[in-house]
Chains A and B, each alone.
Chain A
Amino acid sequence: MTKQDFRSRDAKLGFLLVLPAVILVILVVILPIISGIQISFTSQRVVGSEYEFIGLKNYFELFEDKQFIASLGKSAIWVLANGFFQTLAALLIALLINQPFRGQNFVRTWIILPWAVPAAVTAILWRWMFDASSGIVNTTIKGLDLVQKPVLFLANPDIAGMSLTFVNSWRYIPFLTIIFLASLASVPEEEYEAARVDGANPWLQFKSITFPNLLPTLTVLGLVGTLWASNVFDIIWMMTRGGPGEATTTVPVLMYDMAFYGYNISKATAGAIIFLFVLIIFAFVFIFANRKQFVVASETFQDLSK
């Protein structure tokens, strides 16, 4: 078999193998989006009801809708607080527990638990612990004389967002930490040995070996983590339903509420499309700025198929 044969067969096989995943994504994500764009140009109120084509009316209405504009702002803050903070915290925790210590295996296995239980459990846990009258958090800080009156973690509009950010971070940081740990474990030990022989101090080792090796992971998590954060719905919905008032009404929460409780699916879909558009711009800028990290090609395999 000549190398040319090998390469073209390789290419065909490679393409065929990834095709099922691509088709599934097109079926349940891309097609619904196209369908969603169609819905957003209509006046449909509930699934299956009569509707007519109204062009961009839903969009114009949304741009004048103070509630929607406010939810965009809430989402922006939410994404900054969650996406950015979580990735950074997870990286620090991973570095902290990467060095051997007694109980490291226990930590590496069980740190993941908050991520692995249903969001419903998370919501029950923290709604109960944050409870104003009988919650353990309030009982404790009152017992320690830190506060006079109970803190309304979920009912005070100034605090609810922070409480939810804490809960959402509690849930996602463990998972991100595990991914960083796995990535740290993949750094070749020889590189550190060589650096130590050269007398590099720990900071220099981090800067010249650990960080560059982590960079692809950091970039992908920076992108995916931000997108995950922006689309968080379950925790907010189950803990505050966007309240108190509209203090924690991010775009996904507002859209869901508008579609299924406000009986206006076309306008809700239009709002989601606007949000999607913002996220796409973010993703393009992010990927372009970090384009080197997103190249999956490993040279070895290019050589093999040449």
Chain B
Amino acid sequence: MRLFVIILIMFILLAPFLWILLASFRPNMELVRNQSLIPNSLTIENYVSLFSKSGYWQWIINSFIVAMYTVLISIPLIVAGAYSVYRTYFWGRNALSLFLLSVYIFPTALLVVPIFRIFNDLQLVDSHLGCALMNTAFAVPFGIWLLQAFLKSLPPELEEAAAVDGIGRMRTLMQIIIPQVAPGIIAIAMFAFIVSWTEYLFAMTLLLSNDLHTLPIGLTGIVFGQYRVNWGFAAAGAVGSAIPVFLLFLIVGRWFIRGISAGAIK
């Protein structure tokens, strides 16, 4: 019974991906008429238009650039912030950690107007870095919280012993703590990557030039920009956007949950 419920849940969560994968190899006309389970004919025309007639490669490179910026800026901020909040002691630490979580109060749809004005002055509009800074600001607070279990699980003797040996706190962090939390760092890198990879609103508002568009913006521009949606192309585009994430989880997926728990999962 329990297994049946689990299978049902996994079916609802994952079946759409298999369904769209199948659809991406079917001619658009067949998809418009009906989505019967068994395809009448298979084709690669949708992928031909995605790979050679759309900006797919440009979009995916742009998405990677923004995601890499986001990951590279997020990791040091998250590790330093989490260590500070969960393993050092100073007045106002609680308030600061709450302050950081408070970013999620601010309606992103509201932020885009003033952000646009400020970034315009800083020449960060129409720049991948500007987009990545926004993603970072929304990845860091929760990222810090995600590292807490891991950091709290390390024994305080690590710092005590280092202090007795006269090793400074900063060196303790760099040489003793960081190697210990490596799985946690992999997990928050994945978190930051996904936050950036899936982001829509800031990319749509801040990236004006077509050749800077990220995958979600380029793809939806073509798919939903037309009066009649070409579902064959849309399906191929969806698969093309999901595959990098799929590969990421295939390689390091097991580390995600391990890195945000206290390391109890084998």
Chain A residues engaging chain B, CB cutoff 8 angstroms: 1, 6-7, 9-18, 20-22, 24-25, 27-29, 31-33, 35-36, 39, 47, 93, 96-97, 99, 101, 105, 107-121, 123-129, 131, 133-136, 139, 170, 174, 178-179, 181-183, 185-186, 189, 220, 223-224, 227-228, 230-231, 233-234, 237-238, 251-253, 255-256, 259-260, 265, 268-269, 272-273, 275-276, 279-280, 283, 287, 294-298, 300-305
Contact = CB atoms under 8 A, between A and B. Distances in A.
B134 interface: yes
Given A174-B13, A224-B142, A251 B81 contact: no
Given A21-B80, A178-B260, A233-B201, 10 more contacts: A20-B77, A29-B137, A35-B114, A116-B245, A139-B36, A265-B113, A269-B114, A294-B98, A296-B94, A301-B88
Contacts of A127: 229
B76 interface: yes
A101 B90 contact: no
A298 B98 contact: no
A128 B23 CA distance: 10
B107 A276 contact: yes
Nearest to B172: A13
B216 A119 contact: yes
Interface string B21-42: 0010000000111111000000
Interface of B: 2-3, 5-6, 9-10, 12-14, 16-17, 19-20, 23, 31-36, 76-78, 80-81, 83-91, 93-94, 96-118, 120, 133-134, 136-137, 140-142, 144-146, 148-149, 152-153, 156, 159-160, 163, 166, 169-170, 173, 194, 197-201, 205, 215-217, 219-220, 223-224, 229, 231, 234-235, 237-238, 241-242, 245-246, 248-249, 253-254, 256-257, 260-262, 264-265
Contacts of B114: 31-33, 35-36, 39, 269
19 contacts: A13-B84, A16-B84, A31-B114, A33-B114, A35-B118, A47-B116, A96-B6, A113-B245, A134-B35, A231-B108, A238-B200, A252-B110, A265-B113, A268-B110, A275-B107, A276-B107, A296-B148, A300-B156, A301-B89
A11 B6 contact: no
A120 B256 contact: no
A120 B169 contact: no
B106 A33 contact: yes
B195 to A, nearest CB: 10
Contacts of B241: 117-118, 120-121
A113 B229 CA distance: 25
A121 B249 contact: no
B254 A128 contact: no
Contact of A47 (B19, B113, B160, B257): B113
A32 B117 CA distance: 9
Contacts of B80: 17-18, 20-21
Q: For chain B, what secondary structure do more than half of its interface residues adopt (helix, strand, loop), or is it mixed?
A: helix
B103 A25 contact: yes
A253 B256 contact: no
Given A128-B234, A251-B107, A35 B117 contact: yes
Contacts of B31: 128, 134
A296 B93 contact: yes
A223 B101 contact: yes
Contacts of B76: 20
A275 B105 CA distance: 10
Given A117-B241, A233-B201, A36 B111 contact: yes
